C-alpha cells in the first residue's frame, strides 16, 4: 500500500519541513503540493494513502475517509470522573496515582489519555500501536494538542508511544514491570462507531489476541490484565477472563485477570 507525504496548499516553509521530516521518519516519499489537488497527486503518484501536514494537524487521507488525531471522548470521560461518576475502564483497571500502565492497542489514544490522567505525574502510560503511521500521528498529536485543561494536556504529554507488535514487546519486558496491561482490540463485529473510528478500522491490526499474549501480559502485570470486547464476544471465554466490569446497557464489557489468580 503506497503512502506519500505532502502539505496543505500554500504551506509555509515550516510545514514543508515538517512534512519532509514525517516522510523520513516513516520512510515514505515526500511530494511537493505545487497547488495540485490531492486527487491529482493520488493519480500521478499512484498513492493509496496521503499524509497531509496542515497547520492544525496531520491527516491521513484515504478513500475510506480521513484519519487524524483528536481527543475523542477522553475529555468528557475525565470531566465525568472529576464529578464522581463511574468509568468502567478505570474501574476494571482499578487505577491509582503512580501506576504504570501498558496499553497494548493504542489506536486513537483515548483510553491512554484517561489512564494517564488518573495515574498522575508519578505514573506512566506506554502505548503500543501496530501501525507505524497511526503511532506517528498519535505521537505528534499528543505532543501538540492544546484544546483542553492543562491537567489533561499534561496527561497527554506523559504518554509514551511506541510503534510495534505488542506480543514481541511483552516478551521483551521483565516480569511485573507494569501494574496494568490493557488490550482493546479492534472488534471483528463492530458496534456503532464514530466517523473518526471508521478510517482507523482500515489501518488497525485485526488479528485476534492470542492466548500467548495474555500469558505474557499476566507475567508482566503486577495487578491487572484488562481486556475490552463487545458484550456478546466469545473472546473472554477463549482467553480465560472470568471477572467482568461493564454497564447494564453498554455494548462493551471489560474482562480482567488478577495475575496472582492467572499465574
Q: Please check whether residues 186 and 94 belong to one and the same domain.
A: yes
Q: Are 119 and 99 in contact (CB under 8 A)?
A: yes
Q: Which of 3, 1, 131 is CA-nearest to residue 69?
A: 131
The 3-state DSSP class for residue 246 equals: coil
pTM exceeds 0.75 for this model: yes
**Percent of the chain whose pLDDT exceeds 70:** 91
Q: Please check whether residues 37 and 163 belong to one and the same domain.
A: no
- pLDDT score of 38 more than 90: yes
- pLDDT score of 193 more than 60: no
Query: Which residue has cell 477472563?
Result: 241
Q: Are 29 and 40 in contact (CB under 8 A)?
A: no
The total number of structural domains in the chain stands at: 2
Overall average pLDDT of the 15-24 stretch: 97
Overall average pLDDT of the 98-115 stretch: 96
Grid coordinates representing 30?
A: 515526500
CATH classification of the domain holding 174:
3.40.50.150
Q: Confirm whether 158 is domain-assigned.
A: yes
Q: Please check whether residues 42 and 93 belong to one and the same domain.
A: no
- The residue with greater pLDDT, 189 or 84, is 84
Q: Please check whether residues 78 and 29 belong to one and the same domain.
A: no
When pLDDT is cut at 50, 70 and 90, the band that residue 191 belongs to is very low
Q: Where are the beta strands (DSSP E) in 17-151?
A: 49-53, 58-62, 65-68, 100-103, 124-129
For residue 14, give Cα distances in angstroms to 18, 53, 55, 156: 6, 10, 9, 24
Q: Are 182 and 231 in contact (CB under 8 A)?
A: no
Q: Please check whether residues 162 and 49 belong to one and the same domain.
A: no
- pLDDT score of 51 more than 80: yes
Grid coordinates representing 207?
A: 488479528
When pLDDT is cut at 50, 70 and 90, the band that residue 112 belongs to is very high
Grid coordinates representing 147?
A: 484544546
When pLDDT is cut at 50, 70 and 90, the band that residue 157 belongs to is very high
- pLDDT value, residue 197: 52
- pLDDT value, residue 1: 67
Q: Please check whether residues 20 and 125 belong to one and the same domain.
A: no
For residue 106, give Cα distances in angstroms to 15, 138, 152, 159: 26, 9, 17, 10
Overall average pLDDT of the 139-156 stretch: 94
- The torsion defined by the Cα of 148, 152, 157 and 160, in degrees rounded to 10, comes to -130
Q: Confirm whether 66 is domain-assigned.
A: no
- pLDDT value, residue 205: 63
- CA 105 – CA 185 distance, rounded (Å): 6
Q: Please check whether residues 113 and 22 belong to one and the same domain.
A: no
Average pLDDT, the chain: 91
**Percent of the chain whose pLDDT exceeds 90:** 80
- pLDDT value, residue 198: 54
Q: Confirm whether 154 is domain-assigned.
A: yes
- pLDDT value, residue 135: 96
Backbone angles phi, psi at 100, to 5 degrees: -105, 125
- CA 24 – CA 143 distance, rounded (Å): 19
- pLDDT value, residue 199: 54
When pLDDT is cut at 50, 70 and 90, the band that residue 190 belongs to is very low
Grid coordinates representing 107?
A: 489506536
The 3-state DSSP class for residue 216 equals: helix
Overall average pLDDT of the 97-123 stretch: 97
Q: Please check whether residues 192 and 104 belong to one and the same domain.
A: yes
- pLDDT value, residue 147: 87
- pLDDT value, residue 187: 45
- pLDDT value, residue 207: 84
Helices (H), 103-210: 110-119, 132-144, 150-158, 166-172, 197-203
Q: Confirm whether 60 is domain-assigned.
A: no
Overall average pLDDT of the 221-242 stretch: 94
Residue 105 domain boundaries: 74-262
Q: Where are the beta strands (DSSP E) in the chain?
A: 3-7, 49-53, 58-62, 65-68, 100-103, 124-129, 160-163, 178-183, 221-230, 243-245, 252-257
Q: Are 41 and 35 in contact (CB under 8 A)?
A: no
Out of 143-152, 190-199, 254-263, pick the least confident. Answer: 190-199
- pLDDT score of 223 more than 80: yes
- pLDDT score of 170 more than 50: yes
Amino acid at each position: 500500500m503506497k503512502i506519500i507525504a505532502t502539505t496543505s496548499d500554500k504551506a509555509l516553509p515550516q510545514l514543508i519541513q515538517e512534512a519532509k521530516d514525517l516522510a523520513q521518519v516513516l520512510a515514505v516519499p515526500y511530494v511537493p503540493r505545487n497547488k495540485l489537488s490531492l486527487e491529482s497527486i493520488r493519480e500521478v503518484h499512484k498513492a493509496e494513502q496521503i499524509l497531509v501536514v496542515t497547520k492544525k494537524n496531520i491527516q491521513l487521507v484515504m478513500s475510506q475517509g480521513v484519519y487524524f488525531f483528536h481527543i475523542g471522548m477522553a475529555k468528557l470521560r475525565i470531566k465525568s470522573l472529576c464529578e464522581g461518576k463511574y468509568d468502567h475502564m478505570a474501574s476494571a483497571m482499578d487505577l491509582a496515582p503512580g501506576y504504570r500502565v501498558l496499553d497494548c492497542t493504542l489506536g486513537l489514544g483515548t483510553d491512554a489519555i484517561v489512564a494517564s490522567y488518573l495515574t498522575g505525574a508519578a505514573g506512566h502510560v506506554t502505548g503500543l500501536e501496530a501501525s507505524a503511521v497511526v503511532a506517528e500521528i498519535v505521537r505528534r498529536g499528543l505532543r501538540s494538542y492544546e484544546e483542553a485543561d492543562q491537567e489533561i494536556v499534561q496527561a497527554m504529554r506523559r504518554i509514551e508511544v511506541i510503534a510495534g507488535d505488542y506480543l514481541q514487546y511483552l516478551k521483551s519486558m521483565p516480569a511485573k514491570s507494569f501494574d496494568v496491561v490493557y488490550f482493546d482490540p479492534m472488534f471483528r463485529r463492530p458496534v456503532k462507531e464514530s466517523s473518526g473510528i471508521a478510517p482507523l478500522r482500515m489501518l488497525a491490526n485485526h488479528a485476534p489476541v492470542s492466548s500467548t499474549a495474555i500469558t505474557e501480559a499476566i507475567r508482566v502485570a503486577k495487578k491487572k490484565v484488562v481486556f475490552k470486547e463487545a458484550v456478546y464476544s466469545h473472546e473472554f471465554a477463549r482467553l480465560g477472563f472470568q471477572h467482568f466490569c461493564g454497564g447494564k446497557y453498554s455494548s462493551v464489557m471489560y474482562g480482567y485477570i488478577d495475575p496472582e489468580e492467572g499465574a
